[in-house]
Amino acid sequence: MQTQFKMEIKPIKSESDYKNALKRLDEIFDASIGSLESDEADILALLIDDYENKHFPINAPDPIEAIKIRMEELSLKQTDLAEAMGGANRVSEILNRKRKLTLEMVRNLTGKLNLSAEILVQDYELSI
């Protein structure tokens, strides 16, 4: 005989609701796929994600930080970007915030680093 399981999903409206949802998700995280508990976990994960995005937003990195992060992920050195950015000196100027990215550089880096142009065209501060 199967045990009856009642799913109680409520909106997350407070920090307390959020903590309770996290606790419940932890309890049912490894539920068998296709079970009611697995369905509950899927819904809770969506609710938790929505709450976190609203209350704990993570800002996207500025273009220079995005380039540096991607360089690290791809194990690239500054010289690897020289062709895309107009030479080794230009790469150094850009990464040290002495010069802004040009539209041509954005186009080249979008392909080379597989970064969104939307990230690369954001404004950022130069070092003085």
Domains in the chain: boundaries: 15-55, 63-120
> Span 115-122, mean pLDDT?
92
Give the confidence band of 103 by pLDDT, cuts at 50, 70, 90: very high
Q: Estimate the crossing angle of helix 15-28 against helix 36-55, to 10 degrees.
A: 140
Give every CB contact of residue 37 below 8 A, 6+ residues apart in sequence: 5, 28, 31
What does the pLDDT look like over 10-60, one tens digit per residue? 899 999 999 999 999 999 999 899 899 999 999 999 999 999 999 998 887
> Span 4-12, mean pLDDT?
76
Q: Token pair 């992920």 is at which residue?
A: 73
**Which pLDDT belongs to residue 127?**
87
We find that the CATH architecture of domain 63-120 is Orthogonal Bundle (1.10)
